[in-house]
Amino acid sequence: MEIEVKDLCVSIQGKKILEHASLSMKSDEITVLMGPNGSGKTTLGMAIMGYPGLAIDSGEILVDGKSILGMGPDERAKLGIFMQFQEPIEIEGVNLENFIFAAKTAQSKVSARQIEEDIEKAIKILDLKEEMLKKDVNVGFSGGEKKKVEIMQMLVLKPKFAILDEPDSGLDVDTLKKVAEAINMYEKESHAGILLITHYTRILSYINPTKVYVMDKGKIVASGGRELAEKIEREGYGFIEG
Amino acid sequence: MLEWLGDFGELEKERGELYKRHGRPIPIRFEDKSSGREKGTSKDYDIVAFSSEHASSVESEGMSIASDAEIIRLTEDVSNPLTISIEDGKEVTMNIALIFDSSLPSKIKIRLGKHASLDIYETFSSNFSSDGILSQEMELDESSKLNLVALHKEPANANYALLSLVHSGKNAEARLTNVFAGGNKLHHSTIGVVEDGGSIASSTVAVAGSSQIIDLSSLLVNEGRNSSIESLTRAVVKDNSECLVKELAKVRQSAEEASTYIEEKGLLLNDGASFVPMPDMAVDTNNVANASHSSAVFPLGKKSIFYIMSRGVSEGNARQLFATGFLEKLLTGKFGSEKGKIMLEEAEASLNSKLRS
């Protein structure tokens, strides 16, 4: 799968958030999107996933050459796009296991046994407790558990392209390592494309990016390889203003 | 006349004060009479009670009635109500169908003797979309147990008023579950009184749609020592519908070590929907184990729907997932017996159908 964001301008209630943002990503690659707080990184991820609260003023989002702008988030998910959220919402009364079953069966025809096996495997990889499956989705989960549960959903839903929005924020070293291992393993096994959104470089100690983009004030202001992330590690984001 | 109803006038006055304080946003009016038939009910009942201005026998299309079912015509003579009386020490489980095709008032009395137990599952429906008025008196003698589950699935253009009077005697337990999945304008009033060591646990689940108005009000009185009252309400409100919940918990001076709790929660599925919680308390003793209330309104936001849809679930199913999850909490554990399980399926199907409509 190849995703191209072309000259994208996005606003929220009249306020411009993205201005002529362009980048391309594809399967088997880990693309990292970095930038200071409020630079528009999450908005870009939400725009690709189809959040209805955003106004697409101009530009295109193409998947394998075809526009997805007219598609709802559920249709984009069925194409194979997945988003891990920074702050996933709580769903009272719906247990996690049922939610994953509902999501998986909405996307593809797969046996209940297969879903159970995939859930079991994901739980082991992420070192999650099995009892969590019986709890309401994200209700009472710690910050680390929420991140892990989001990654667990990715492992079970098996998307072709995953947008991971700050999977590293607020995690202790051990949890960060587990989450990074799961992302690496998934990328290698499934050959999926990954867009990793972060403003810290510490997750890059465990994940090797193919490309790095830097965003500031809604624009892509720099692109390169791992060396760009290393520069940010050394110098911070000050250089992008120069 | 029940002795405890001697205080009824005073309780009514207190309820009037509650309205005075909060206003009465909904006048009790019953109009929009029109015909319409409900189809697809298929269940065996122990008692089929009906009130009809149209027919002298039960003619409920699609309704299967067990051969030994008692068929009773409810009359407007409220001094001669349908009475379900359980003798001391007896345990009974029953299904009742209540078909309202008359706007004339009807009355049901449930009486439990000492140490008696009754699991009763009531299904309210109507064949002609009539307006209905029903009062239901429940009197529990010492150490008796009542589990009453009422499923309201009247047609969408039926208007009705219900009055539930509950007296939980010494060490008696009343568990009341009302599921509102039908009707148009609906007013449900509950007056409950609990004696020493007795309890009332009331759960109300409602879905309001298609510009419907659901008006729920309660006056719950801890009369005796160590008495306990809990009233939980959850409503999903959609379209331009309104749901109002006004409850006053009163702990009398005699009710030492009593506990009372009111919880009112509403989920709004869209902008035009409205849920107005009004919990209130009046505690006349200094020695109370617990007296608290909570209320909350949850508007279902774009981000919440987006989260579910990002997993491949359609918008309609995403809304339904939230709504059923929200209501499920109050339905869990209320349907213990085999008849109860059938009732739970029916209640869930009715709620889901209303959520989808």
Smallest CA–CA separation between B13 and chain A, in Å? 39
State mean pLDDT over B213-220: 94
Residues of chain B with Cβ-Cβ distance to A107 below 8 Å are 311-312
Of all residues in chain B, the one with the smallest CA distance to A85 is B307
Q: Which residues contact A231 (CB under 8 A, 6 or more apart)?
A: A239
Whose tokens are 């680390």? That residue is A144
Helix (H, G, I), strand (E, B) or coil at A22: strand
Nearest CB partner across the interface for A103, out of B311, B322, B328: B311
A70 touches chain B (CB under 8 A): no
Smallest Cα–Cα separation from B170: which of B193, B146, B147, B197?
B197
A15-26 and A2-12 strand pairing: antiparallel
- Mutation site for B-interface testing, chosen from A51, A74, A94 by largest number of B Cβ within 10 Å: A74
Mean pLDDT score, B216-236:
96
Count of CB atoms situated within 10 Å of the CB of B190: 22
Contacts of A103 in chain B (CB under 8 A): 311-313
For B167, residues 6+ apart whose C-beta sits below 8 A from its C-beta are B2, B4, B138, B139, B140, B192, B193, B195
Q: Residues B123-144: pLDDT tens digits?
A: 887 766 667 788 899 999 999 9
Quick check: A91 contacting B, CB < 8 Å? yes
Percent of chain B with pLDDT over 70: 76
Residue of chain B whose alpha carbon sits nearest to that of A103: B311
pLDDT of residue B306: 94
pLDDT of residue B74: 67
CA angle B251, B256, B259 (to 5 degrees): 55
Q: What is the pTM of this model?
A: 0.79
Residues of B with CB under 8 A from a CB of A: 302-304, 306-315, 317-318, 321-322, 324-329
Question: What count of residues does chain B have?
Answer: 357
Q: How confident is the model at residue B322 (pLDDT cuts 50, 70, 90)?
A: confident
Q: Measured between CB atoms, which of B302, B314, B322 is closest to A74?
A: B314
**What is the tens place of the pLDDT at every residue in A147-172?**
999 999 999 999 999 999 999 988 99
Residue type, A181: E
Please give the structure tokens belonging to residue B230.
Answer: 């809990």
**Phi/psi zone of residue A138: left (φ > 0), alpha (ψ -120 to 50 degrees), beta?**
left
Please tell me which residue of chain B has the smallest CA distance to A135: B325
Q: Which of B256, B231, B260 is nearest to B246 (CA)?
A: B231
Contact B306 A136 (CB under 8 A): no
> What is residue B66's predicted lDDT score, i.e. its pLDDT?
45
Q: Give the three-class secondary structure for B139.
A: strand
| Structure tokens that stand for B119 in this block | 């699991």
Interface test with B, best of A49, A91, A108 (most B CBs within 10 A): A91
Query: Quick one: pLDDT at residue B169?
Result: 96
- Whether the CB of A14 is below 8 Å from some CB of chain B: the reply is no
Write phi, then psi, for A2 (nearest 5 degrees). -120, 130
What is B165-187 written as a DSSP string? EEEE-TT-EEEEEEEE---SEEE
Q: Do B313 and A102 touch (CB under 8 A)?
A: yes
A53 vs B314: CB contact, 8 Å cut-off?
Answer: no
Residue A126 DSSP code:
H
Residue from B152, B168, B263, B164 nearest B208 by CA: B152
- Intervals of chain A under pLDDT 70: 241-242
The yes-or-no verdict on residue B41 having pLDDT over 50 is no
Domains and CATH numbers, chain A: 2-240 (3.40.50.300)
The answer, for A131 touching chain B at a CB cutoff of 8 Å, is no
Q: What is the pLDDT, as a whole number, of residue B350? A: 79
Determine the average pLDDT of the residues in B191-199: 96
B311–A153 C-beta distance less than 8 A:
yes
pLDDT of residue A187: 94
Q: Tell how strand B91-101 and strand B47-52 pair up.
A: parallel
Residue B19 has pLDDT above 70, yes or no: no
Task: Give the model confidence (pLDDT) of B249-300 as tens digits.
Answer: 999 999 999 999 999 999 998 888 999 999 999 999 999 999 999 999 988 8
A159 phi and psi, to 5 degrees? Answer: -75, 160
At A198, list the tokens: 């972060």
With CA atoms as reference, report the closest residue to B108 among B168, B48, B53, B154: B48
